[in-house]
Chain A
Amino acid sequence: MLPLAHVGHYLWVLYVIPIAIVVAAIVRNTVAQRRLAREHAEEEARR
């Protein structure tokens, strides 16, 4: 028998995972876009 008597109290974690994945993807995408924009601006300045 596995000692899982109170595992139900942590069931909410399974509902947070999809939200965390979406937020992480958005943050990653935003950071990448900002870096691209910054690199583009630096390249323009060098020219």
Chain B
Amino acid sequence: MSFIPLAHALASRQDLPIPAWLFAWAASIVLIASFFALSAAWRKPQFEDEHRRPLGERLSAALLGLPAQIVCGAIGVFLLGVAIYAGLHGTEAPDRNFALTFLFVTCWLGFPFFSAIFGDLFRPFNPWRAIGRAAGGTFAAIAGQRPTHLPYPERLGRWPAAIGLLAVVWLEVVYGASGGVAVGLDPHAAALAALIYSVYTLAMMAVFGVEAWCERGETFSVYFGMFGRLGIFGARDGRLYRRRPFSAATSWATVPGSAAVVIASIATTSFDGAQEGAFKSAIESTFEWFVDRGIGLTASLRLTDTVFILLCFAGVALVYNLGVRGMRTVPGAPGFKKLSAGFAHTLIPIALAYLVAHYFSLFVFQEQAQFGYLLSDPLGTGHTDLFGTVNNEVDYNFLSANAIWYVQVAALVVGHVIGLMLAHDRALVYWPDYRKATASQYWMLAVMVAFTCFGLYLLSVANG
């Protein structure tokens, strides 16, 4: 191949034994084979029941009791406080300030990754929930009655969380896309945003109640909780239990706007992966178009990226809705709304797969910084060395380019096969005749193949 003058995009940092596009073909074959295996061997729903097995009472009491709730809540509030303080008073260098890596890497990526295995880990550490509950408890002690709240509007559903998710990613990758480091946002702006979000969240909790807002409107609770539905541990009525993996996801999307949350997750990750690769030339053309209209450079850049984020959201929603429309053609299909909500949870493993594929290496590298020099010198001023690790460096040889690529491919394939499995399982609920259920899933197979190939294309261009 070396004698062919391939000027752009084909020279990869990896040294793969076969071209990157062949991985997309292989992944598609895996999905098609999985589809036929599911059709042949899976004829009864397996995930509708969580199959809960309660854990020991003492363990539940220790992990879910009031002392544990207070300690976990206090840790959450303390770490949020440290991040805001570091953002406001620390160095302006994004990669040396604790705030950005903590908020946008450790929390933003860490909670989805680990919640998907162990269940919702954010809920006990949620700083706003802790403050809201403490405030409610104090009010009850002083006034002698529980605070009263307005009923949460059902139609609003999880839409505030979906919009909040788009806003968080917009802040990180659009507003802050200029630093050229892992997270390019100005730490001061991030801390200010965290403060504003805290005020907004506490106000909403005061209006609608802490649990109602966390369940539907609070972006981080909804987003991390969504991935937590894939995990194997849950809690109910003060008791911890083990459940069948992925089974809790089947009851997640019953609230309106849930599909928008998971679609926003896939769309924002896609945009972040594509902006320097697949969409680069289109973004540049649109940017120049805005500049030619007399709009300032920074405003044009942000406007362009905003347009592309919204286009990504519309594109992912379109592919999913085409899949749902396809299912509607099978005799006995429920209405479009019911189908759309009924299959939204099948996108959760795909959202996780996209997250792992795009940010796995960033997480591994930045966590070395987090637990090295950032923890010892949170403000990044060079004057403190709390744990003696201030001189630790990030080892970029920890993962090779090939290893990252194989993790990315594996994440995408496994995520989509799980998505296919959940979709097949839900189809058996709507079409008890397995032949009709299989026919309905042709369309979801097309959706899964499309997302897999698109994801691999984004990665191959970004890595090129």
Q: Footprint of B on A, CB under 8 Å? A: 1-2, 4-9, 11-12, 14-19, 21-23, 26, 29-30, 33
Q: Which chain A residues border B8 with CB–CB below 8 Å? A: 5-6, 8-9
Please give the distance in Å from A37's CB to the nearest CB on chain B: 9
Cβ A19 vs Cβ B449 within 8 A: yes
Across chains A and B, the number of contacting residue pairs, with CB separation under 8 Å, is 68
Which of A4, A14, A23 contacts B21, CB < 8 Å? A14
Please give the distance in Å from B135's CB to the nearest CB on chain A: 51
Q: Which chain B residues border A18 with CB–CB below 8 Å? A: 24-25, 28, 449, 453
Q: Which chain A residues border B28 with CB–CB below 8 Å? A: 18-19, 21-22
Which of B9, B445, B456 contacts A15, CB < 8 Å? B456
> What are 26 inter-chain pairs, A to B, with CB distance below 8 A?
A2-B4, A2-B5, A4-B6, A5-B7, A5-B8, A6-B8, A8-B6, A9-B8, A11-B460, A12-B278, A14-B24, A15-B21, A15-B24, A16-B453, A18-B25, A18-B449, A18-B453, A19-B450, A19-B453, A21-B28, A22-B28, A22-B32, A22-B449, A26-B326, A26-B443, A30-B329
Cα of A30 to Cα of B443 in the assembled complex, Å? 11
Please give the distance in Å from B321's CB to the nearest CB on chain A: 15
Q: Which chain A residues border B9 with CB–CB below 8 Å? A: 8-9, 11
Q: In this complex, what residue of B is CB-closest to A3?
A: B5
Please give the distance in Å from A4's CB to the nearest CB on chain B: 5
Interface string of B56-72 (1 = CB under 8 A from A): 00000000000000000
Query: Given contacts A2-B4, A18-B24, are A29 and B450 in contact (CB under 8 A)?
Result: no
Which of B3, B24, B456 contacts A1, CB < 8 Å? B3
B439 within 8 Å of A (CB atoms): yes
Cα of A26 to Cα of B443 in the assembled complex, Å? 7
B336 within 8 Å of A (CB atoms): no
Say what secondary structure dominates the interface of chain A: helix
Cβ B5 vs Cβ A15 within 8 A: no
Tally chain B residues at the interface, Cβ within 8 Å: 30
B213 within 8 Å of A (CB atoms): no
Q: Which chain B residues border A23 with CB–CB below 8 Å? A: 446
Cα of A29 to Cα of B330 in the assembled complex, Å? 12
Cβ A5 vs Cβ B453 within 8 A: no
Cβ B5 vs Cβ A4 within 8 A: yes
Cβ A11 vs Cβ B10 within 8 A: yes
Cβ B7 vs Cβ A8 within 8 A: yes
Q: In this complex, what residue of A is CB-closest to B457?
A: A15
Question: Knowing that A15-B453, A26-B443 are A-B contacts, what are 12 other residue pairs whose CB atoms are under 8 Å apart, sorted by A's residue number?
Answer: A2-B5, A8-B8, A8-B10, A11-B21, A11-B457, A12-B457, A15-B454, A18-B453, A21-B28, A22-B446, A29-B442, A30-B442
Cα of A1 to Cα of B3 in the assembled complex, Å? 7
Cα of A22 to Cα of B446 in the assembled complex, Å? 6
Interface string of B433-459 (1 = CB under 8 A from A): 000000100110110011001101100
Please give the distance in Å from A41's CB to the nearest CB on chain B: 13
10 closest A-B pairs by CB:
A8-B9, A18-B28, A14-B21, A5-B7, A15-B457, A8-B8, A26-B442, A15-B453, A8-B10, A22-B449
Cα of A12 to Cα of B461 in the assembled complex, Å? 9
Which of A4, A17, A21, A22 contacts B4, CB < 8 Å? A4
Cβ B439 vs Cβ A33 within 8 A: yes
Q: Which chain B residues border A7 with CB–CB below 8 Å? A: 6, 10
Q: Which chain B residues border A11 with CB–CB below 8 Å? A: 9-10, 21, 457, 460-461
A2, A8, A15, A19 pick with most chain B CB within 10 angstroms: A15
Cα of A6 to Cα of B7 in the assembled complex, Å? 6
Q: Which B residues between 11 and 44 are near A, CB-CB below 8 angstroms?
A: 21, 24-25, 28, 32
Cβ B6 vs Cβ A19 within 8 A: no
Query: Given contacts A1-B5, A11-B21, are A26 and B446 in contact (CB under 8 A)?
Result: yes
Query: Given contacts A19-B449, A22-B445, A26-B326, are A5 and B21 in contact (CB under 8 A)?
Result: no
Cα of A14 to Cα of B10 in the assembled complex, Å? 13
Q: In this complex, what residue of B is CB-closest to A25?
A: B442
Cα of A12 to Cα of B282 in the assembled complex, Å? 14
Cβ A19 vs Cβ B21 within 8 A: no
Which of A8, A9, A19 contacts B446, CB < 8 Å? A19
Cα of A42 to Cα of B442 in the assembled complex, Å? 27
Cα of A23 to Cα of B456 in the assembled complex, Å? 18
